[in-house]
Chain A
Amino acid sequence: MAELVARNLTRRFASGGGISDVSLSVATGEFMVLLGPSGCGKSTLLRLIAGLEQPDSGTIEFASGADADPERRAIAMVFQNFALYPHMTAFENIAFPLRLRRTRRDQIEARVAQAAETAGLKIELRRYPAQLSGGERQRVALARALVREPAVILMDEPLSSLDARLRGALRLELKEFQRRVQRTIVYVTHDQAEAFGLADRIAVMCDGRIEQVGSPEEIYQRPATAFVAGFVGSPPMNLFRARRTNQGESWMAEGISMPVPASSSAGDEITVGFRPIDIAVSGAPSLIAIPVEVEDSEFTGSGFLVRCRAGSIVVHALFEEKPERGERRTIFVDPADLHFFDSTSGHRIE
């Protein structure tokens, strides 16, 4: 069952940016991550769902009853900087949504204590935000979002203002949190590790549009567009253009010949991609051989990320041993690991 359905949402800004004709459905209890580079419109979409922005056109429906008034929607939000009220103690911060609803005092205390426990808050609640660490502020923000028992919790890059080590720890905690509270979460991030670690489904956004919605595995294994292919995965997929040969049976790029995808209706040009991790350094006859020259390499811990060049094409590959600069090598790719995209529309070709 869908907790919230956005239909054909458009919101443009005079200064540029925003989203165009975006539709998205989020299931009840689902952890949905909006992933994309900065300026792709993911925060705009989140703010539209929150009701902080009004769409130019399009609708958002909630299973809990559509209501234009954000204060009556069963939605809570955790802001990038947590937006804790600095003049209130942790307790007062968490209790604020309940006070506004004129909840009875004994009930407020019970519910704040419960929300604080669920959010993993083990501190003295009489302290002010200024006296708390980054991680503790984060948990106060979570508890405040949770205390009114919302159907949907929105999170706008809630980990991005924390330092790297804390970020990793809190990511695990967030996942645990989601398991405990069983609520629908829409989460915005530009960090794919965060997206892959947390999401049930990911919506990859670019330029105000949703490029693909799917599970992390789907997104990684079958990217729907060339943008998704190039954005997701670390190191990112190698992408280059290829032209149809005269016979029309294979595609050529810089002397490399590749088999035609089964149902190709594309024009004379196509975008081909393969992941660095799918490259082999020794070959079998069934593999595509690509002669390259090594340009540079960097140590990654488990091996070397090598930048090679095949004519005008730059290919990133993972080697186990460090290659010499300027060394000539041949790398091999299984045709099954190739991804094809329409060069004009960017859509995947099977």
Chain B
Amino acid sequence: MTRTDGSSELERGSLALARLGVCALVLAGAAIPLYLLAKQALTPELESFAWPPNWLSHDLTFEHFASVFAVSELRSAVIRSFAVAIVSAAVATAMGAMLAYAMARGRASRSVGFAAVSGARLLPMIAVAIPLAVWLVTLGLYDSPSGAGLALVHAALALPTAALTAYSAFAAIPFELEEAAWLDGASPMRIFFSIDLPQARGALAAAFILCFILSWDEFGFALLIQVSNRTLPPLLYYYTVFGNVGPASALALLMMIPAIVVVIALRPVLSGSLLSGGLR
């Protein structure tokens, strides 16, 4: 073995070490709050306020979970949150896909689309909050038990995210494939559904997940619009406000489950290894 080989191996080794360090740091940044949350959720009320704070609790308890499940509002809030997230994510993804497709295929629609999407993102949400609420009152959707009004707002909020996520996927599909399908005898509608949509499904699944999580977490509009028919984030907020740290932590922990389930459920679609190689 020559010396240059040795030194390059050394370099590679230290590079790998540095990479490992960065990974550990990032992981720690995510894991430590998560651990504290889980600890808090499982620690008896008195001990969670112990000073100095401890990393490991002496007694484990499920009483916080029990008290969360005992809340009569929980069941309806879970269902409502879930329905709002699913519906708004579905609407945003469907509309975002259409917008993204137009942006990917037309020069005029690309500039208009980008202007609209980034404009919507630049707008401070608080500026539209009151008018939106008024509008929902007129429509009869304000504080509706089904959460339809909030779903509508969340869909609008998520639309730019969905469109931008889907855009790059559609833009990557060669136009030649559409021409080939057209010559094979496919209508424009058929081309979109048979050629473009299947190839973009990985990106659309990602868009759906992002929109779902966006809605599942969303607090401000949920607080404003679902005043009495609450979703989960305001519920969690009221717990914290009234100092119920244990149950709040337990609820926060439970809230992570659906998001994880959605990500896992859509994993096969996300890994699109099958979806390349039509063109050389």
Contact = CB atoms under 8 A, between A and B. Distances in A.
B73 interface: no
A97 B275 CA distance: 21
Interface of A: 50-52, 70-72, 75-77, 79-87, 96-97, 100-101, 128-132, 134, 137, 144, 148, 161
B280 interface: yes
Given A86-B276, A86-B278, A130-B274, A100 B179 contact: no
B182 interface: yes
Interface string B170-192: 00001011011111111100100
Contact of A134 (B180, B182, B199, B280): B280
Interface size band for B: 20 to 34
B183 A81 contact: no
Given A81-B279, A129-B277, A137-B280, A71 B182 contact: yes
Contact of B199 (A71, A86, A96, A137): A86
Interface of B: 174, 176-177, 179-187, 190, 194-195, 198-199, 274-280
Contacts of A100: 184-186, 190
- Which 6 A-B pairs rank lowest in CB-CB distance, beginning with the nearest? A130-B277, A86-B278, A83-B180, A71-B185, A97-B184, A81-B279
Contacts of A101: 185
B278 A129 contact: yes
A79 B184 contact: no
The dominant DSSP class at the B interface is helix
22 contacts: A50-B183, A52-B179, A71-B182, A71-B183, A71-B185, A76-B183, A77-B183, A80-B176, A81-B176, A82-B279, A84-B279, A86-B277, A86-B279, A87-B198, A96-B181, A96-B194, A100-B186, A101-B185, A128-B274, A129-B278, A130-B277, A137-B280
A128 B275 CA distance: 9
Contact of B180 (A75, A79, A131, A148): A79
A70 B184 CA distance: 9
A82 to B, nearest CB: 7
A52 B183 CA distance: 8
B182 A86 contact: no
B38 to A, nearest CB: 41
B278 A97 contact: no
A87 B279 contact: no
Contacts of A82: 278-280
Contacts of A161: 280
B186 A71 contact: yes
Contacts of B187: 71
A155 to B, nearest CB: 12
* Among B174, B177, B180, B194: residue with most chain A CB under 10 A: B180
B183 A75 contact: yes
Nearest to B184: A97
Contacts of B195: 85
B279 A83 contact: yes
B177 A83 contact: yes
